[in-house]
Chains A and B, each alone.
Chain A
Amino acid sequence: ETGVTQTPRHLVMGMTNKKSLKCEQHLGHNAMYWYKQSAKKPLELMFVYSLEERVENNSVPSRFSPECPNSSHLFLHLHTLQPEDSALYLCASSQDIEVNEKLFFGSGTQLSVL
């Protein structure tokens, strides 16, 4: 148990659906992240929040919409996804973003888009 909890663990959705992924960290960290993990590809950073402010948006399509209501919670809202968006979506947190620190990952949400 890393202190980062993601729900749901698995999600199957159609291309016209709207769903949300939830992440909660119990570590008192100030930074939270969304990563995408596809088969045979390195981890891809999607979004970074520091103290609830978005820091980084790595050219992610607008069909992915993050929300960080407080420093402990992070959401990823999904709408009109494509089959190529099927992947493992990982949430992570770290104490801060200014320095190189350990990232603590959740177990991920395995997303399948039909």
Chain B
Amino acid sequence: DIQMTQSPSTLSASVGDRVTITCRASQTLNNWLAWYQQKPGKAPKLLIYKASNLESGVPSRFSGSGSGTEFTLTISSLQPDDFATYYCQQFNSYSWTFGQGTKVDVK
């Protein structure tokens, strides 16, 4: 199975900050990686698909990058609505796996 290591587990930031979250895979993913945002009591929401593609309707301050085994989600200027938990998920194998999550909270 492909293991996903997401870091940091918690990130304290202020409105306007640039935020970066990293996901590392135990094997190459061929860009089959997605990023989600989840708020308490809600289903995850797809932000980025296939590593770097912005899902329709998602603000352009969100971006995804990376290749091989290391991928990054960047929020260019954190907004009040962005305080949430973020997950990566890989689809490169028949057995899909999520990262452990990164909670972005108020500094």
Pair from one complex: no
Binding site for A on B (CB under 8 A): none
Binding site for B on A (CB under 8 A): none
